[in-house]
Amino acid sequence: MLVLGIETSCDETSVAVLDEEGRVRSNIVSSQLAAHAPYGGVVPEIAARAHLENLPVAFEQALFEAGIEVSEIDLVAVTAGPGLIGALLVGLSAGKALAFARGVPLVPVNHLEGHLFSAFLRARGEAALPVERPFHGLVVSGGHAELVRVEEGRIVPLARTRDDAPGEAFDKVARRAGLGYPGGPVIDRVAARGNGSRYPLPVGRPGDGSNDFSFSGLKTAMLRELQKRRVNGGRPGAFGEPQGPPQKDYSDTLIDPESLEPDVVDLLASFQRAIVTALLDRVETVHREQRMRGLVVSGGVAANSELRRTLSEWGAARGVPVLLPERVFTTDNAAMIAFAGLLRYRENGVQDSLAATARSRWPLGS
């Protein structure tokens, strides 16, 4: 059995082929970074257009690399949400057309569920690791922070962010610091040479006793600290979502991370430490409440070196196996969508999948 996966929820156009053992036969990821870079963030209309252009090419390439014909596809798995509606519609429509034309089933996949199971995929043509439930999952990305318990047949949400996602905080701080988009990888590199305990930055918890996350206070505190130091790499008033064409190419204002003052390097390292500490704190609390049997950490922010190290050490100390995705599967890709689709298909089969609609919001477990 061969599964074709399609992912177009944000700024990566991706098509993958997976076999029934979760072996990745091909995983083409076409990034739109260059198209969005002048704006310092993802512009939805540009994303949708770029998907339209890139998807047929990625599709051909995915089949070619997997060495298969379109007639050999048995199942189509496509991201139906959450994400940018215009972007999602491109992949979902293509997936439906393909499934209809070939007479094969289509599974609409929750993008976060894709991330959740991405940690089980192996990069070098090996079968996926066996998925043994129950386990806990922490999905941390540019749009989400969700902590869930994955049981047989259901996903129980335990905590999510009340405001910004951690990746979003990385991106906005990096943008203000003039470090470009996406912010996570560059702050990760800069933080490696800084002192993360120099500035203890506060990360709030909602006052209602829930385990939810909140990162907007930290982000605002950071922006204030950067301003105090006259670090302002973005366009004037650059904070907030990009609107309309930039007054001037944002990438002109980028600065070389090597040229950052040591004090700013320490500040960025402290910012990263604060995010990692908040995530660890919630993982620890939930572990105390529920005794985790295993923890799976995924999403773009799961590429972060300090987070990977900290959670692995935590798991070793508590006797909780911690599973992290291989780095190629941390950021958006269609292999994870194909795999989540395959698991869903095995669990539930498919019902009237051509009626699936794109959903901009779609929390895990709903």
Q: Kindly list the residues in this chain that would bind ligand KG4 in the complex (CB under 6 A).
A: 10, 141-143, 167, 170-171, 182-185, 188, 299-301, 303-304, 331-332
Mapped onto helix, strand or coil, the DSSP state of residue 6 is strand
Rounded to whole angstroms, the Cα distance separating 161 from 208 reads 14
259-264 contacts: CB < 8 A, separation 24 or more? 260/177, 260/190, 261/229, 262/194, 263/229, 264/177, 264/226, 264/229, 264/231
Nearer to ligand KG4, 154 or 309 (CB): 309
- Segment near Zn ion (CB under 5 A); pick from 51-59, 140-148, 149-157, 250-258: 140-148
- Minimum CB–partner distance for residue 92 and ligand KG4 (Å): 16
CB of 104 to ligand KG4, least distance (A): 27
What DSSP element (H or E) covers 276? Answer: helix 262-290
225 touching Zn ion, by CB under 5 A: no
Closer residue to Zn ion, CB minimum distance, 18 or 29: 29
Q: If binding means CB under 5 A, how many residues of this protein chain bind Zn ion?
A: 2
| x-or-dash string of contact with Zn ion, 289-328, rule CB under 5 A | ----------------------------------------
What is the rounded distance in angstroms from the CA atom of residue 168 to the CA atom of residue 41?
A: 10
Least distance in Å: CB of 136 to ligand KG4?
Answer: 19
Shortest reach from residue 141's CB to ligand KG4, in Å:
3
Partners of 296 in the β-ladder: 137, 323
By CB under 5 A, is residue 141 in contact with Zn ion? yes
Size (the chain), residues:
366
* CA-to-CA separations, 313 to 197, 221, 316, in angstroms, rounded: 18, 28, 5
Among ligand KG4, Zn ion, none, partner that 365 touches (CB below 5 to 8 angstroms by kind): none
CB of 351 to ligand KG4, least distance (A): 27
CA distance 315 to 211: 19
Give contact residues for Zn ion (rule: CB under 5 A): 141, 332
